[in-house]
Amino acid sequence: MRSPISPGPAAESNPNPGILLLRLGGGIRALLGLLQGDMAEAAMAYTASRQLPQFIFAVAFFHSSEYALAVFFHGRSNVTLSSLLISKQYVVAMVCALLEYAIEILLFPRLKEYWWVSYIGLVMILIGELIRKAAVITAGRSFTHLIRKYHEDHHELITHGIYRFVRHPGYSGFFIWATGTQIMLCNPVCIIAFIVVVWRFFSTRIPYEEFFLRQFFGFQYVEYAKRVPSGLPFIR
């Protein structure tokens, strides 16, 4: 005999609407969690898949555009392949960067999936390129890839444009660009190595170059150097 207050067959087959809502909410949360996980994995896979092509493009564009601008301002007959700015030391550095990337993506693939770090590096590459190219275009014929040891008639001291803010925007642009390539690749070892090596290179090059600039422009350059920073950290 069924109790008067016990649910009948119809009630047992139709659960409380509140229970249905709770079950539905749980299902939606589980589905969203699954989608978020898939989206995160897809985003990480995208980050790794774009890093190497972007690196290759950045390097190729940098060197080809340097050569093209040198030809534009100085003429093809006055420009050699050295204007591509590819030295043995540079090749070794880039090979080390690629080796680190290959080793880490095989052994520690998640290290390459910090998409926000990679995007910071990409932004640095773009900023570095803009600063470097602004320096080349502003200086025009006065910009050379080799340090001038003898003054030429068309060589003038450039203090306008981007040179109002930094004395060596070409160097600071390259420093930002080179560091950015390694941040984009999420190469922790090469990030540190590139910063140290590039900074040390410019820390000796800048004083050497400025020795000749003081010879060429005298008091004018001395006053300019007092007012305007070099553009690289800890290099006055």
Asked if 169 and 188 count as a contact pair (C-beta separation under 8 A), the reply is no
* Cβ neighbourhood burial of 146 (10 Å; 0-12, 13-18, 19+): exposed
Among 62, 171, 181, which Cα is nearest to 121's? 181
C-alpha 5/C-alpha 236 separation (Å) is: 90
| The residue count for the chain | 236
Q: Any idea which residue has 């207050």 for tokens? A: 5
pLDDT tens-digit profile of 147-171?
999 888 778 999 999 999 999 999 9
DSSP state of 163: G
Residues 6+ apart with CB under 8 A from 44: 110, 113, 115
Tell me the pTM: 0.81
Residues 6+ apart with CB under 8 A from 59: 94, 181
Phi, psi of 85 (to 5 degrees): 60, 40
pLDDT tens-digit profile of 115-128?
999 999 999 999 99
Which value, to the nearest 10 degrees, does the dihedral of the CA atoms of residues 100, 102, 108, 111 take? Answer: 70
**Domain limits, the chain:** 49-227
DSSP state of 162: G
- Going from the C-alpha of 68 to that of each of 73, 75, 80, 187, 219, the distances in angstroms are 9, 10, 11, 30, 34
Task: Give the chain's residues under pLDDT 50.
Answer: 1-8, 10-12, 20-21, 31, 34-35, 38-40, 42-43
Q: Into which CATH architecture does domain 49-227 fall? A: Up-down Bundle (1.20)
C-alpha 196/C-alpha 194 separation (Å) is: 5
Alpha carbon 216 to its chain centroid, in Å, reads 35
C-alpha 134/C-alpha 132 separation (Å) is: 5
